[in-house]
Structure 1
Amino acid sequence: MDLSGVGVWSHHLRYGDQGEAAEAAAELEELGFRALWMPDAGGPVFDAVGNLLTATSRIVVATGILNLWMHAPADVATSFAALSSAHGDRFLMGIGVSHAVAVDAREPGRYRKPLAAMKTFLDELDQADPPVPAERRVLAALGPKMLSLAAERARGVHPYLVTTEHTRRTREILGEGPLLLPEQTVILCSGAEEARELGTDWLRRYLDLPNYANNLLRLGFSAEDLASVSDRLFDAVIAWGDEEAIKRRVDEHRAAGADHVCVQVITADPNAFPREQWRRLAAALG
């Protein structure tokens, strides 16, 4: 399983038309991307994983992330074994605790002690028959405790909505062994005004979630930065500009200790697969 280079993180691959998702996956593989990442906000996630694996032959397909509150560990292990048997070692299971607002909306009061919930989930994956090997899973982790757990119980970490400074600090916590696979949101655009127009509301939705807000506060941003979506915060979280500007940010993550960076493209139409943007980035990042 090669997790170097650059990957693509896309909700379109998970929730868009699955015929186009398969077609796009095959093209992304040919363009040289190393992994395809998809979210899990409910629904048959393993069907979507299988769709991408069937459409490709080499690229890694990863969940970014599998929401542990929505799945029984025994069922997860069974699905993992079936996909691995059919497609080899190309499925990387990213696992995360999601957010209280999302989990409690389905079952009020369920979201409690997320670190303990993750430990229990991993224990049950280890005890399943067959188990999900630690080297085939990574954890969505932002804070020190979850990062340390990932170093002990998984192949590495997949942080989302982070800065290059977070990547540097994470590598210090993990040490040299575990994989560090951050997501980087990007906007291909002509200037700051266009970037802000496309990205501010998108970013504000995440800043309302305590997990992300608290992580950014730990990194030195102020409550006012978050409330106003300040330029300093925006520019640290979202890479924008031409292809060279995006490449610089990816290179900064690598210099800070990332093994692999997955780029998420924001465009004016959130429902359209950003195929042209992926092509432009492939030429610049390959």
Structure 2
Amino acid sequence: MISDRLALTVIPGAGWRAEDVRRVAREAEQAGFEAMFSAEVNSDVMATALLMGCATDRIRVGTWIANIYLRHPYLCAKGAELIADDTDGRFVLGLGVSHRPVNDALQIDMRNAAGDVVAYTLAVRDWLEGRGPATHLPQRQAPRPVPIHVAALSLAAAERGAEVADGLMPTMWSPERVAKSAEYIARGRGRGTRTGAFELTLGLPTSSARTWVSYGKRHGRIWRSTRRSRSSGRCGARAVSSTRRMRWHVAPARRG
């Protein structure tokens, strides 16, 4: 059974201060949002997730997505472990290769992006489960589980991601493409070793003036996440609740 769950995705790199992140996280939780994600655009998405988690008690926090080229998998795993522990298991680690213009500006080679995502996800998982090589201290398993979702645009990427991760974060998919992805996900899961529920967080960003809306579909529920840019002189995100039951929705821009 699928039910509507409202989530919030923010872009703090548009000029937010730390207190902006904390305040929006608290407002999102008070407004009844189920989750809050952060995009890695001119910001450190892991630090942002920790800020969001520390400011809240119930809402899930996560990365949409953490750029795999910016962190050694060891560092990513240790950061994720700490955030998950501090938030009582409310953290979702979304991984992906980000966007070519971003990586080009940072002189990052992403010619093997598909293979890089798989290798990175497996490496992070090894560190989280205590299988990484000993450094100056022996490794240990993370005290709380850290679900890993990987970004996906193509169906081939969905199949690869399903083999190594706990969920997918596809974007710009139509309902028909979501339905078609089931066979690819099943093939990937069949080759992998992960067990348990597989989650699908679906994002469809659309624009209406200063407002973006994306939807997340997780195992057994729909997440809808609303993104807003920063307006001049004030924090741009505002908690907006809705009881409308629908898959695609464009929220009207707010003024003032």
User: TM-score range, shorter-chain basis?
Assistant: 0.7 to 0.9
Shift of the 39–101 alpha-carbon distance from structure 1 to 2, 3 Å rule, reads same
Quick check: which one's strand share is greater?
2
The code of the aligned residue for 2:226 comes to Q
Unaligned runs of 5+ in 2: 128-138, 190-196, 246-256
Partner of 2:198: 178
Q: Note if contact 1:33-1:59 (Cα within 8 Å) is conserved in structure 2.
A: yes
Partner of 1:263: 225
Distance 1:60 1:150 in 2: 22
Shift of the 52–24 alpha-carbon distance from structure 1 to 2, 3 Å rule, reads same
Partner of 2:118: 119
Distance 1:136 1:4 in 2: 21
The SS at the match of 2:243 is helix
Q: Note if contact 1:7-1:36 (Cα within 8 Å) is conserved in structure 2.
A: yes
Partner of 1:36: 36
The SS at the match of 1:158 is strand
Shift of the 14–261 alpha-carbon distance from structure 1 to 2, 3 Å rule, reads farther
Percent sequence identity is 18
Distance 1:93 1:15 in 2: 23
Distance 1:10 1:57 in 2: 18
Q: 2:151 aligns with which of 140, 161, 177?
A: 140
The code of the aligned residue for 1:274 comes to A
Partner of 1:209: none
RMSD, aligned α-carbons: 3.4
Q: Note if contact 1:6-1:263 (Cα within 8 Å) is conserved in structure 2.
A: yes
**TM-score by structure 2 length?**
0.72
Displacement of 1:185: 3.0
**TM-score by structure 1 length?**
0.66
Matches within 5 A, 1:5-16: 5-12=5-12, 16=16
The SS at the match of 2:204 is strand
Distance 1:20 1:41 in 2: 16
Displacement of 1:26: 1.3
Distance 1:259 1:169 in 2: 18
Partner of 1:50: 50
Matches within 5 A, 1:71-220: 71-107=71-107, 110-128=109-127, 129-130=139-140, 136-175=147-186, 177-185=197-205, 195=208, 198=209
Superimposed CA distance per residue, residues 56-81 of structure 1 (whole angstroms, 9 cap, x where no aligned partner): 01111010000101111010111112
Distance 1:134 1:86 in 2: 12
Quick check: which one's helix share is greater?
1
